Structure 1
């Protein structure tokens, strides 16, 4: 059964668009989108260095544009996936009463890595490291969804 997955980070210009791109490339039978908990970059394409790192792996993120996470996303998606605990807290703060849409950390699907979050490469400058972790976690997410 096809699932609708939303990936969420802070600004929606690095981690969540990268996760969306990897997921779309590997899980054609599911739908994906991404958003940020802040409105800092609404309408902007993914950050240039992230686009370059993704492109080196055969992923084109250039058509994606940042948008802000909104409460209505709880009704539009089957699973909401945050990149760190701060993202999860901001997502949960917008949860409508009575809504049961699951919210998980992306790293929940990459337990073998020992990572408890996806570090923000906008600050760490480690775009390849973030993509390595995202790719591993996306593979785990797909296995979980298709089980």
Structure 2
């Protein structure tokens, strides 16, 4: 079974959206999860604005709960997609070897190869920020799904 992990800072905005979007594009042959590099929201439901934008697009992510990325995620997951440069550095800092590092990629590099664009954190913005992030992640998740098919 191929396993994919989405990672952002707190695991309440971007990565749960990415998890929900990618799950909707893949069959049950794949496992998709999400985590945060910080432990601010461990056990918490996604941000209500992430839940709302997902619901607007026909997805229910309200059952997801935040958790922190751990070194063991390198052993569990085949692919680890991070939302921004800070997340990338935080995950890479936990890598034990090149094999771990090779699993980690900036998610928007799937849409804009080698550009290392960040998915902006919409937490302190308005609802439009969440819609913009949804659209970015939807495009990137379509690429992931295409690559895995």
Q: Distance in 2 between matches of 1:47 and 1:115?
A: 25
Contact 2:37 2:87 in 1 (8 A): yes
Alignment RMSD (CA, Å): 1.6
Equivalent residue number for residue 95 of structure 1: 95
Equivalent residue number for residue 66 of structure 1: 66
Matched, 1:105 2:106: yes
1:35-89 residue CA offsets vs partner (Å, 9 max, x unmatched): 0000000000000011011101001001100000000000000011000010000
Secondary structure class of the residue paired with 1:111: coil
Instruction: Name stretches of at least 5 consecutive residues in structure 2 with no aligned partner.
Output: none
Count of residues in correspondence between the two structures: 144
Contact 2:80 2:104 in 1 (8 A): yes
1:118-146 residue CA offsets vs partner (Å, 9 max, x unmatched): 11111233100000000000001111222
Matched, 1:133 2:136: yes
Equivalent residue number for residue 16 of structure 1: 15
Q: Distance in 1 between matches of 2:24 and 2:53?
A: 15
Runs of 4+ aligned residues of structure 1 deviating over 4 Å after TM superposition are: none
Secondary structure class of the residue paired with 1:19: helix
